[in-house]
């Protein structure tokens, strides 16, 4: 599984077409607009950049660009209608979360991308996905890209039972759900303690692949646990910090490798 090289993305003006409150903490927003014509169907694990607070009639100010941008998963793109679906976690504070919580149909936004994404050249027999709610959209996309010969084991850590939702409208899967609130757990802690349980339920260790996407410090601890304690080979593991506790705008390329 390899990542695509990064390239400078194209800016597109889009408008909100539809909003669905999927769970108390997740809003699905469908964007549309002519600027989405030619948007490449995203590869699993790809990302887009959303630019908040920019004047759509002026070129973005390069000095403000980084602080105004946030990274999201293009969950679905329909090339016939040029509609792009993004699922936002409403985590309480932050430019993107606040925007998504109050977004209205017709509102304009600038997006860039998609970029990155994964290739799955040698399909593993089993893929273990350890994700929190910010990476559930990406997990759904990865799931849909897996060959049928690959068995997915998906562990989703969310706030509480109301956050359980379908990962895909085309693939049936039964994730293992872990609820932070029940155990007053910090983000990522339940995923972390579940790693050894995963090892107990996996029947075939040959050809096992790990994909971790969640809070950055928890991702690092799990990565270290797998590499150092369980002797998982580096080429059988992709890990990515999707956000970082008490840090705004955590870099989008934190793979936990340094």
Ligand X SMILES: Cc1cc2nc3c(=O)[nH]c(=O)nc-3n(C[C@H](O)[C@H](O)[C@H](O)COP(=O)(O)OP(=O)(O)OC[C@H]3O[C@@H](n4cnc5c(N)ncnc54)[C@H](O)[C@@H]3O)c2cc1C
State which of residues 57, 93, 169, 258 lies at the interface with ligand X (CB under 6 A).
Answer: 93
Token pair in block for residue 114: 């998609």
Tracing tokens 């050894």 back to the chain, one arrives at 196
- What residues are paired with 76 via a beta bridge? 85
**Cis bond before residue 69 (omega within 30° of 0):** no
Q: For residues 213 and 239, is the Cβ–Cβ distance under 8 A?
A: yes
State which of residues 143, 237, 242, 256 lies at the interface with ligand X (CB under 6 A).
Answer: 242
The minimum distance between CB 75 and ligand X, in angstroms, equals 7
Residue nearest to ligand X (CB): 94
Distance CA 139, CA 229 (A): 25
Total count of residues recorded for the chain: 258
Distance CA 48, CA 173 (A): 26
Distance CA 93, CA 104 (A): 18
Identify which of 20, 25, 29 has the alpha carbon closest to the alpha carbon of residue 158. Answer: 25
The minimum distance between CB 51 and ligand X, in angstroms, equals 12
Which residue stretch of 11-19, 93-101, 146-154, 223-231 sits at the interface with ligand X (rule: CB under 6 A)? 93-101
Which residue stretch of 34-42, 87-95, 188-196, 216-224 sits at the interface with ligand X (rule: CB under 6 A)? 87-95
State which of residues 70, 76, 180, 223 lies at the interface with ligand X (CB under 6 A).
Answer: 70
State which of residues 31, 88, 210, 211 lies at the interface with ligand X (CB under 6 A).
Answer: 88
The minimum distance between CB 96 and ligand X, in angstroms, equals 4
State which of residues 95, 101, 123, 227 lies at the interface with ligand X (CB under 6 A).
Answer: 95
Binding site for ligand X (CB under 6 A): 47, 70-73, 87-89, 91, 93-97, 134, 137-138, 242-250, 252
């Amino acid at each position: 599984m390899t990542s695509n090289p990064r390239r400078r993305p194209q800016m597109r003006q889009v408008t909100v077409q539809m909003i669905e409150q999927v769970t108390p903490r997740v809003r699905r927003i469908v964007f549309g607009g002519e600027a989405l014509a030619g948007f490449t169907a995203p590869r699993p694990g790809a990302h887009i950049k959303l630019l908040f607070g920019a004047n759509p009639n002026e070129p973005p100010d390069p000095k403000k660009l980084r602080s105004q941008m946030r990274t999201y998963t293009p969950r679905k793109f329909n090339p016939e209608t040029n509609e792009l679906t993004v699922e936002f976690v409403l985590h309480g504070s932050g430019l993107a979360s606040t925007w998504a919580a109050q977004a209205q149909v017709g509102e304009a936004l600038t997006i860039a991308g998609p970029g990155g994404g994964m290739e799955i050249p040698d399909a593993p027999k089993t893929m273990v996905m350890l994700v929190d709610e910010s990476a559930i959209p990406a997990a759904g996309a990865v799931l849909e890209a897996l060959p049928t010969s690959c068995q997915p084991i998906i562990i989703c850590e969310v706030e509480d039972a109301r956050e359980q939702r379908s990962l895909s409208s085309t693939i049936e899967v039964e994730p293992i759900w872990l609820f932070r609130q029940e155990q007053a757990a910090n983000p990522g802690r339940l995923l972390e303690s579940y790693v050894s349980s995963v090892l107990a339920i996996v029947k075939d260790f040959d050809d096992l692949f790990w994909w971790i996407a969640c809070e950055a410090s928890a991702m690092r601890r799990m990565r270290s646990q797998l590499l150092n304690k369980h002797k998982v080979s580096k080429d059988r593991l992709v890990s990515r910090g999707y956000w970082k506790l008490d840090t705004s705008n955590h870099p989008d390329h934190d793979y936990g490798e340094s």
